[in-house]
Amino acid sequence: MSDASGDDEDSKSKQGLAEERTDFAEDRTVLANERTFASWFRTGFASVAIGLGFQALFLRMEPEWAPKAIATLFLLLAIFIFVAAERRACRVLTRLNTHSVSEFNNNRLRLMVIVATLGVVALIAAMWGLRITPADSS
């Protein structure tokens, strides 16, 4: 004859372990989401670097606005990447709960995106507003 109280304890123990595994999986998903956000953010900054590099390399290109326009496209792409990464990361964070790790706050993600976006807008304004002439190599 089996002991009913022993079966209940085993069932509770297994249930507790299953919940713990689920909690750890949710924590891992939150951390993976943060890594994904960081990856997208780095991709946005790579787009900024490409835009600025293009502008710097083709200063003598004619017409004068062409390298600025191409660089501006890469800078606008960076803003799009920043905003898309933030929106996606915030959506995931609102669906999940952390248990053993502390998650990145949605407001901090938004602040990072706002600061990065303002920086990119400042770069665009400087690029179009300042007259940059290449040094003559005589």
Q: Return the domain boundaries, the chain.
A: 7-129
Nearest to 35, CA basis, from 89, 91, 87: 89
Closest to 121 in 3D by CA, of 86, 72, 85, 51: 72
**pLDDT tops 80 at residue 43:** yes
Whether the predicted pLDDT of 51 surpasses 90: yes
pLDDT score at 124: 95
The answer on pLDDT for 134 being more than 70 is no
Q: Tell me: pLDDT of 135 over 90.
A: no
71-78 mean pLDDT: 96
More confident: 18 or 48: 48
DSSP string of 89-113, one letter each residue: HHHHHHH---SSSPPPPHHHHHHHH
Name the nearest CA neighbour of 92 among 26, 5, 3.
26
Assign 76 a pLDDT band (cuts: 50, 70, 90). very high
pLDDT at position 13 is: 74
